[in-house]
Chain A
Amino acid sequence: MNSRPIGYFKPGDSWLHRRHPVTKLLGLVAIAITAFVLPAWALPVPALGLVVIAFSSRLGLQTLRSLRLPALLFGSILLVNAFFFPGPVERIFSFGPVGLSWAGIIFGVVSAARIAIVFVTSILFLFTTLPDDLLEALVDKGASHRLAFVVLSAIQLVPRLQGRAAAILDAQQARGLAVAGSLATRVRALVPLIGPIVLGSLIDVRERTFALEARGFGARRERTAYRVVTDPPHERWLRLAIVVALVLLLVGIAGGVVR
């Protein structure tokens, strides 16, 4: 018996879980745009908003835990900017061409914050949206079924590869390979994992091809859906509100109201 999650979905019945997948997708896009157009001083607003969203959908701790994954990325953005910020800035100390500057630190923090906002928004989307519901919703909104399936497969690729990596690690340990212990041991254990994972993903593609062929996927242009994803009027109003808010924000920034 295996155990594995489907994608990143965390089963639940919070207000965020209940939103229509397209509403959430639109919200994700709107927050991602906002994170990159907002001036630095305003970034705490979407950040606080995300904290409220995460905790009110009972996913706060899981979201925090998921931040471990990109922590290295945020750290490196901060470090690179802090030490290598270009141009004639005042340096706290210098070592040849490298120097620590306040301007660099601030730029690094702001850049990392923007990326973190997009990351957390995406994670909340994945946590609360069943890939299948997203697929049906996109098809319902006129997306090609094949295209929607590609999107779905892409979302599921990472967890599937994680599953395969775990199976390979089990098998390698069962034949005596040490994978835990010192950092050197862990790094050494990674090397024999790379080939099988590449191979594994090719096998995965082959398995998918067989499965989809056998099940008549793409055989007909028309298709019916078993899952019914309802899209009540208030979801449409919510989407309209998101679009209006985003347009107002962009106009405000372009017109210099938000600086």
Chain B
Amino acid sequence: MSARLEIRDLVVRYPGRREPALDGVALTLGPTDLVGVTGRTGSGKSTLALAAAGLVPRVIRANVSGSVTVDGQDAVHATAAHLAGRVGIVFSAPALQLSASKQTVREELAFGLENLAVPRADMDGRIDAAMARLGIAHLAERDPLTLSGGEQQRVAIASIVVMGTDVLVLDEPAAQLDPAGTESVAAMLAEMARDGRAVLVAEHAPQILLGTRRCLVLDGGRVIADTSPRDALHADRAAGRDLEDMPALGPSIRSVRPVAIAVRDLTHRYPGGIEAVRGVSLSAAPGETVAIVGQNGSGKTTLAKHLNGLLRPDSGQIEIDGHDIADRAVNQLAALVGFVFQNPDDQLFNNSVEKEVGFGPRNLRLDPASVSRLVDGALGMTGLAAHRATNPYDLDVSIRKLVALAGVLAMEPPVLVMDEPTMGQDPLGTRRIGAIVDAWHEVGRTVIAITHDMDFAARHFDRIVVMRGGEIILDGPPASVFAAANTALLSSTGLRPPLGDDVEIDR
């Protein structure tokens, strides 16, 4: 059988970088091959995905030697016309995928078909099939840009799948997905490979990697192992264990004291009438750590954005430290509640990491010496000290996410709210964020995190709150929420108990 994707001796150097992003990578995928790629942040996974899809150097400038061949077509020197319909690429962020100009999910999916000149009569059938594969048929008539991050990502994956290319490349497609969504993507990839397609998927999620036939492990742009998924996963997780440079959390500079949070009977409706949160009540004791979990679109982010006043309730109230926050501005609440956005690019706006991290403390009108100690502390915890002078936008998205976190940690808020903090992180990054939650917890600060990573939730949080359809359906310590008796209930909101191979549920 002829190769669908063949990469030979590929070296990619980005302008201004000393080390190559890929250094002598070779890889062959035939029809029905499903191959995983893993490795730490910066190991070259994304570059490999971009090169395999023919976007390097055509769209992203780089020096390339070696060859990439897609269905017999040289992809290094090909034009868009040569590659359209042969290879499709799925990115980890829906913003990189969606046209942002379509009224409905259905029309969004039609966009790629229009560009491939698929006859109008064939479009609806293909769109329906792609939506069914991704479990998004119920979103067909919704406006893509009003969907939750995870729902958008499913639309983004469907938008490429619908094009029906022989080669499919995916770069961390499951980063924003709930466990059920991740499983359905894993099943879909297996099915597409069975149909004769070649699939290359860069991921950390075990559900995806375990479904592949073999896995490449990248390090410093080189393939250091071409092995079974289980061994690759083991190597990936082992790499996350050596968190050598995590400093201990020193005494509070702002001398904050623990505060409680109470949400009473909160309801929030978006314009257009969609009720994202319905009558939710939730409280967190001072210093408690709470993980909010639930399927994509279950109202988690909407709930969290009420905790610092970014959204206001249609009914119900939020109390922080015993006071109703209804008439307090977002910037006044910032000293009490730190909020880390899901998309770091919604949060970064300074031209160096140091300035970015110092932005919050400066707004708190602290003296320069305190600001600089807070910045140093936050950079130390997030392992970013070496990137102090770098422009955040020159960093990988997973590191930008840590910059966004550092910017909030530096304010030492008594309550830390994080929206999908581990999204796009490699095991080392996830472990680091877990250690930060533990350290914050130890000094009596409250942490509330939205997450799809059940292992992370079970390992680092006192309480797990499960949401479905804008309501709380379970609330308790990890051991009871993830108990076998709740499996069916969890599964009704797209969740699975932690994989648990090396996770102790009882802390």
Interface residues of A (CB under 8 A from B): 1-4, 6, 130-132, 152-153, 156, 160, 167-168, 170-180, 192, 195-196, 199, 203, 207-220, 222-228
Report the minimum CB–CB distance from A250 to chain B (whole Å): 36
**Complex: A194 Cα to B55 Cα, angstroms:** 31
Given known contacts A175-B408, A195-B351, A220-B115, A214 and B103 CB-to-CB distance under 8 angstroms:
no
Which of B117, B120, B335 contacts A176, CB < 8 Å? B335
Closest Cβ neighbor of A207 among chain B residues: B95
In the bound assembly, the distance between CA atoms of A6 and B348 in angstroms comes to: 25
**Contacts of B346 on A, CB cut-off 8 Å?**
167-168, 170-171
Complex contact A1–B89 (CB within 8 A): no
**A1-B146 in contact (CB<8A):** yes
Q: Is the CB of B59 within 8 A of A213?
A: yes
Using a CB-CB cutoff of 8 Å, which residues 398-427 of chain B contact chain A? 407-408, 411
Beyond A176-B334, A203-B393, A223-B117, 13 extra complex contacts between A and B, CB < 8 Å: A1-B297, A2-B146, A168-B349, A174-B341, A199-B349, A210-B55, A211-B95, A212-B99, A214-B88, A215-B111, A216-B84, A219-B116, A224-B119
Tell me which of B114, B276, B341 contacts A1 (CB under 8 A): B276
Residues from 112 to 126 in B contacting A, C-beta threshold 8 Å: 112-120, 123
A214 touches B115 (CB 8 A): no
Q: Are A177's CB and B301's CB within 8 A?
A: no
User: Given A175-B359, A175-B407, A214 and B91 touching (CB < 8 A)?
Assistant: yes
**Which B residue sits closest to A213, measured CB to CB?**
B59
B 310-342 binary contact with A (CB < 8 Å = 1; else 0): 100000000000000000011100110011010
- In the assembled complex, the Cα of A227 lies from the Cα of B88 at a distance in Å of 23
Closest to B94 in A: A211
Interface residues in B57-112 by Cβ distance below 8 A to A read 59, 80-81, 83-85, 88-91, 95-103, 107, 110-112
How distant is the Cα of A220 from the Cα of B112 in the complex, in angstroms? 11
By the criterion CB–CB under 8 Å, are A179 and B270 in contact? no
In whole angstroms, how far apart are the Cα atoms of A217 and B100 in the complex?
Answer: 13
Contact B113 A226 (CB under 8 A): yes
**Does B47 count as interface, using CB distance less than 8 angstroms?**
no
Enumerate chain B residues within 8 angstroms of A4, measured Cβ to Cβ.
145-146
Q: Which of A132, A195, A220, A223 is the one whose CB lies under 8 Å from B349? A: A195
Please determine whether B81 and A210 come into contact, CB atoms closer than 8 angstroms.
Answer: no
Contacting pair B84 A132 (CB below 8 A) = no
Please measure, in the bound complex, the distance between the C-alpha atom of A132 and the C-alpha atom of B81, giving whole angstroms: 23
In the complex, A177 Cα to B119 Cα: how many Å? 52
* Closest beta carbon of chain A to B487's beta carbon, Å: 28
CB of A83 to closest CB in B, whole Å: 40
Indicate if B175 sits at the interface (CB-CB under 8 A). no
B contact residues around A224 at 8 Å (CB): 113-114, 117-120, 123
Are A215 and B331 CB-contacts (below 8 A) given A1-B148, A176-B363?
no
Q: Tell me the smallest distance from the CB of B351 to a CB of chain A, in Å.
A: 7
B246 interface hit (Cβ, 8 Å): no
Specify which of A172, A173, A226 is in contact with B329 (CB 8 Å cutoff). A173
Pairs of residues from A and B, 9 with the lowest C-beta to C-beta distance, nearest first: A176-B363, A219-B84, A226-B110, A196-B349, A216-B84, A176-B334, A173-B330, A175-B360, A216-B115
B344 to chain A, nearest CB (A): 10
* Bound CA–CA A132/B297 (angstroms): 27
A141 to B122 Cα, complex, angstroms: 24
Give 26 A-B contacts (CB < 8 Å), ordered by A residue: A6-B102, A132-B101, A153-B101, A156-B100, A156-B101, A160-B100, A168-B346, A168-B349, A171-B341, A172-B349, A178-B331, A192-B349, A203-B393, A207-B96, A209-B59, A210-B59, A210-B96, A214-B89, A215-B97, A215-B99, A215-B115, A216-B84, A219-B83, A219-B84, A223-B117, A226-B111
